[in-house]
Chain A
Protein backbone atom coordinates (compact mmCIF):
# COMPACT_ATOMS: atom_id res chain seq x y z
CA UNK A 1 0.00 0.00 0.00
CA UNK A 2 1.15 3.52 -0.68
CA UNK A 3 2.08 5.99 2.06
CA UNK A 4 3.20 9.59 2.40
CA UNK A 5 5.42 11.17 5.02
CA UNK A 6 5.63 14.86 5.69
CA UNK A 7 8.34 15.10 8.34
CA UNK A 8 7.75 18.73 9.27
CA UNK A 9 4.58 19.38 11.25
CA UNK A 10 5.10 23.11 11.51
CA UNK A 11 7.41 25.54 9.67
CA UNK A 12 7.87 29.25 10.19
CA UNK A 13 9.48 31.47 7.55
CA UNK A 14 9.83 35.19 7.10
CA UNK A 15 7.98 36.90 4.31
CA UNK A 16 10.21 37.07 1.26
CA UNK A 17 12.28 34.07 2.29
CA UNK A 18 12.42 30.89 0.29
CA UNK A 19 10.43 27.83 1.27
CA UNK A 20 10.82 24.10 0.90
CA UNK A 21 8.30 21.62 2.28
CA UNK A 22 9.36 18.01 2.35
CA UNK A 23 7.39 15.01 1.17
CA UNK A 24 8.47 11.39 0.91
CA UNK A 25 6.31 8.68 -0.53
CA UNK A 26 6.22 4.93 -0.69
CA UNK A 27 4.66 3.28 -3.71
CA UNK A 28 5.60 0.27 -5.79
CA UNK A 29 5.06 1.79 -9.20
CA UNK A 30 5.38 5.20 -10.80
CA UNK A 31 3.36 7.45 -8.54
CA UNK A 32 0.92 10.20 -9.24
CA UNK A 33 1.87 12.98 -6.81
CA UNK A 34 0.01 16.04 -5.64
CA UNK A 35 0.34 19.02 -3.37
CA UNK A 36 -2.77 20.60 -1.88
CA UNK A 37 -3.15 23.72 0.23
CA UNK A 38 -5.80 24.35 2.86
CA UNK A 39 -6.43 27.80 4.25
CA UNK A 40 -8.21 28.05 7.61
CA UNK A 41 -11.86 27.13 7.32
CA UNK A 42 -11.51 26.17 3.67
CA UNK A 43 -11.41 23.03 1.60
CA UNK A 44 -8.29 21.66 -0.06
CA UNK A 45 -7.10 23.34 -3.23
CA UNK A 46 -4.79 21.65 -5.71
CA UNK A 47 -1.45 23.44 -6.07
CA UNK A 48 0.23 21.14 -8.56
CA UNK A 49 0.49 17.56 -9.74
CA UNK A 50 2.98 15.15 -11.25
CA UNK A 51 1.89 12.34 -13.53
CA UNK A 52 4.88 11.79 -15.81
CA UNK A 53 7.43 13.63 -17.94
CA UNK A 54 9.34 16.63 -16.69
CA UNK A 55 10.23 16.05 -13.05
CA UNK A 56 9.99 19.75 -12.20
CA UNK A 57 6.37 20.81 -12.19
CA UNK A 58 4.97 24.29 -11.88
CA UNK A 59 1.81 25.06 -10.01
CA UNK A 60 -0.36 27.93 -9.03
CA UNK A 61 0.64 30.81 -6.75
CA UNK A 62 4.31 30.55 -7.76
CA UNK A 63 4.87 27.08 -6.29
CA UNK A 64 6.90 24.32 -7.89
CA UNK A 65 7.80 20.78 -6.93
CA UNK A 66 10.46 18.36 -8.05
CA UNK A 67 9.97 14.61 -8.34
CA UNK A 68 13.09 12.66 -7.40
CA UNK A 69 12.57 8.97 -7.92
CA UNK A 70 15.91 8.00 -6.35
CA UNK A 71 14.95 9.73 -3.12
CA UNK A 72 11.22 8.94 -3.26
CA UNK A 73 10.60 12.61 -2.71
CA UNK A 74 8.35 15.31 -4.06
CA UNK A 75 9.32 18.50 -2.24
CA UNK A 76 7.40 21.72 -2.66
CA UNK A 77 9.27 24.98 -3.14
CA UNK A 78 8.64 28.67 -3.48
CA UNK A 79 11.42 31.22 -3.99
CA UNK A 80 9.74 34.05 -2.07
CA UNK A 81 6.94 33.48 0.41
CA UNK A 82 4.07 35.91 0.83
CA UNK A 83 2.10 36.36 4.05
CA UNK A 84 -0.96 34.97 2.25
CA UNK A 85 0.82 31.62 1.83
CA UNK A 86 0.25 30.85 5.52
CA UNK A 87 -1.83 27.68 5.44
CA UNK A 88 -1.58 23.94 5.79
CA UNK A 89 0.00 21.99 2.97
CA UNK A 90 -0.71 18.37 2.15
CA UNK A 91 1.26 16.02 -0.06
CA UNK A 92 -0.62 13.08 -1.57
CA UNK A 93 0.15 10.03 -3.68
CA UNK A 94 -2.42 8.50 -6.00
CA UNK A 95 -2.96 4.92 -7.02
CA UNK A 96 -5.36 3.26 -9.39
CA UNK A 97 -7.22 0.10 -8.46
CA UNK A 98 -9.00 -1.28 -11.47
CA UNK A 99 -11.10 1.57 -12.77
CA UNK A 100 -11.03 3.56 -9.55
CA UNK A 101 -8.33 5.68 -8.01
CA UNK A 102 -7.73 7.09 -4.58
CA UNK A 103 -5.28 9.41 -2.86
CA UNK A 104 -3.29 8.83 0.29
CA UNK A 105 -2.52 12.06 2.10
CA UNK A 106 0.32 12.99 4.39
CA UNK A 107 -0.37 14.47 7.79
CA UNK A 108 0.24 17.99 6.58
CA UNK A 109 2.71 20.81 7.26
CA UNK A 110 1.44 24.01 8.78
CA UNK A 111 3.23 27.06 7.39
CA UNK A 112 3.44 30.23 9.41
CA UNK A 113 4.75 33.40 7.76
CA UNK A 114 6.21 36.18 9.86
CA UNK A 115 6.30 39.75 8.63
Chain B
Protein backbone atom coordinates (compact mmCIF):
# COMPACT_ATOMS: atom_id res chain seq x y z
CA UNK B 1 0.00 0.00 0.00
CA UNK B 2 1.30 3.45 -0.87
CA UNK B 3 0.18 5.01 2.39
CA UNK B 4 -1.51 8.39 2.65
CA UNK B 5 -0.72 10.56 -0.34
CA UNK B 6 -0.77 14.34 -0.20
CA UNK B 7 -0.34 16.88 -2.94
CA UNK B 8 1.25 19.22 -3.51
CA UNK B 9 4.21 18.70 -1.18
CA UNK B 10 5.05 22.38 -1.29
CA UNK B 11 2.86 25.34 -2.17
CA UNK B 12 3.87 28.98 -2.34
CA UNK B 13 1.14 31.48 -3.02
CA UNK B 14 0.31 35.11 -2.54
CA UNK B 15 -2.08 36.51 -0.01
CA UNK B 16 -5.64 36.48 -1.26
CA UNK B 17 -5.23 33.51 -3.54
CA UNK B 18 -7.19 30.30 -3.21
CA UNK B 19 -5.26 27.25 -2.08
CA UNK B 20 -6.41 23.65 -2.40
CA UNK B 21 -4.63 20.82 -0.64
CA UNK B 22 -5.37 17.23 -1.60
CA UNK B 23 -5.29 13.93 0.22
CA UNK B 24 -5.73 10.33 -0.85
CA UNK B 25 -6.19 8.09 2.19
CA UNK B 26 -5.27 4.46 2.57
CA UNK B 27 -7.81 2.15 1.02
CA UNK B 28 -10.20 0.76 3.63
CA UNK B 29 -9.32 3.37 6.25
CA UNK B 30 -12.63 5.11 6.67
CA UNK B 31 -11.65 7.97 8.95
CA UNK B 32 -9.70 10.93 7.61
CA UNK B 33 -8.15 13.78 9.54
CA UNK B 34 -6.70 17.16 8.57
CA UNK B 35 -4.08 18.69 10.86
CA UNK B 36 -2.09 21.90 10.81
CA UNK B 37 1.37 22.16 12.37
CA UNK B 38 3.15 25.39 13.25
CA UNK B 39 5.98 26.26 15.60
CA UNK B 40 3.73 28.44 17.68
CA UNK B 41 0.67 26.21 18.00
CA UNK B 42 2.04 22.74 17.46
CA UNK B 43 -0.18 20.07 15.89
CA UNK B 44 -3.83 21.11 15.62
CA UNK B 45 -6.72 18.97 14.44
CA UNK B 46 -8.76 20.97 11.94
CA UNK B 47 -11.49 18.54 10.89
CA UNK B 48 -12.15 14.86 10.62
CA UNK B 49 -14.43 12.66 8.56
CA UNK B 50 -15.87 9.23 9.14
CA UNK B 51 -17.21 7.37 6.13
CA UNK B 52 -16.92 10.60 4.12
CA UNK B 53 -19.10 12.54 6.57
CA UNK B 54 -17.62 15.45 8.55
CA UNK B 55 -17.81 14.58 12.24
CA UNK B 56 -16.10 17.50 13.93
CA UNK B 57 -14.97 20.71 12.27
CA UNK B 58 -14.55 22.71 15.45
CA UNK B 59 -10.83 23.06 14.77
CA UNK B 60 -11.30 24.89 11.49
CA UNK B 61 -9.98 28.34 12.31
CA UNK B 62 -12.22 30.50 10.14
CA UNK B 63 -14.81 30.42 7.40
CA UNK B 64 -11.97 30.85 4.95
CA UNK B 65 -11.21 27.18 5.55
CA UNK B 66 -13.36 24.42 4.10
CA UNK B 67 -12.91 20.69 3.64
CA UNK B 68 -14.69 18.09 1.57
CA UNK B 69 -14.57 14.36 1.15
CA UNK B 70 -16.63 13.51 -1.94
CA UNK B 71 -15.66 9.85 -1.82
CA UNK B 72 -13.64 7.37 0.21
CA UNK B 73 -10.47 7.93 -1.77
CA UNK B 74 -10.18 11.70 -1.91
CA UNK B 75 -10.38 14.76 0.31
CA UNK B 76 -9.57 18.42 -0.14
CA UNK B 77 -8.79 21.26 2.23
CA UNK B 78 -9.39 24.67 0.73
CA UNK B 79 -8.35 28.09 1.97
CA UNK B 80 -10.01 31.07 0.30
CA UNK B 81 -8.68 33.71 0.55
CA UNK B 82 -5.32 32.71 1.95
CA UNK B 83 -3.41 34.88 4.44
CA UNK B 84 0.24 34.84 5.57
CA UNK B 85 -0.77 33.45 8.97
CA UNK B 86 -2.03 30.33 7.20
CA UNK B 87 1.57 29.39 6.46
CA UNK B 88 2.11 25.99 8.04
CA UNK B 89 2.52 22.32 7.29
CA UNK B 90 -0.80 20.61 6.69
CA UNK B 91 -1.06 16.90 7.33
CA UNK B 92 -3.68 14.41 6.31
CA UNK B 93 -4.04 11.19 8.32
CA UNK B 94 -6.18 8.09 7.97
CA UNK B 95 -7.39 5.40 10.33
CA UNK B 96 -9.81 2.57 10.63
CA UNK B 97 -12.39 4.22 12.82
CA UNK B 98 -12.51 1.58 15.46
CA UNK B 99 -8.78 1.38 16.05
CA UNK B 100 -7.66 4.98 16.64
CA UNK B 101 -4.21 4.42 15.17
CA UNK B 102 -3.62 7.07 12.53
CA UNK B 103 -1.29 6.96 9.57
CA UNK B 104 0.05 10.29 8.44
CA UNK B 105 0.86 11.59 5.01
CA UNK B 106 4.11 13.46 4.31
CA UNK B 107 2.41 16.84 4.61
CA UNK B 108 2.04 19.92 2.45
CA UNK B 109 4.21 22.87 3.36
CA UNK B 110 2.19 26.01 2.59
CA UNK B 111 3.79 29.43 2.38
CA UNK B 112 1.54 32.44 1.89
CA UNK B 113 3.46 35.57 0.96
Contacts and interface: CB of A to CB of B under 8 A. Distances in A.
A36 B43 CA distance: 12
A102 B98 contact: no
Given A97-B55, A102-B56, A32 B100 contact: yes
Given A46-B101, A94-B100, A99 B106 contact: no
Interface residues of B, number: 25
Contacts of B104: 36, 43-45
Classify the secondary structure of B's interface with A.
Answer: strand
21 contacts: A32-B101, A34-B101, A36-B104, A43-B91, A43-B104, A44-B93, A45-B104, A49-B100, A49-B101, A51-B100, A94-B100, A94-B101, A97-B55, A99-B98, A100-B48, A100-B97, A101-B95, A102-B33, A103-B33, A103-B45, A105-B43
Nearest to B6: A43
Given A46-B103, A95-B100, 4 more contacts: A34-B101, A46-B102, A99-B51, A102-B45
Given A46-B103, A97-B55, A101-B31, A108 B43 contact: yes
B105 interface: yes
A109 to B, nearest CB: 12
Nearest to B107: A43
A90 interface: yes
Contact of A107 (B31, B42, B56): B42
A67 to B, nearest CB: 15
Interface string B58-90: 000000000000000000000000000000000
A96 B59 CA distance: 17
B109 to A, nearest CB: 8
A97 B4 CA distance: 23
B106 A100 contact: no
A115 to B, nearest CB: 26
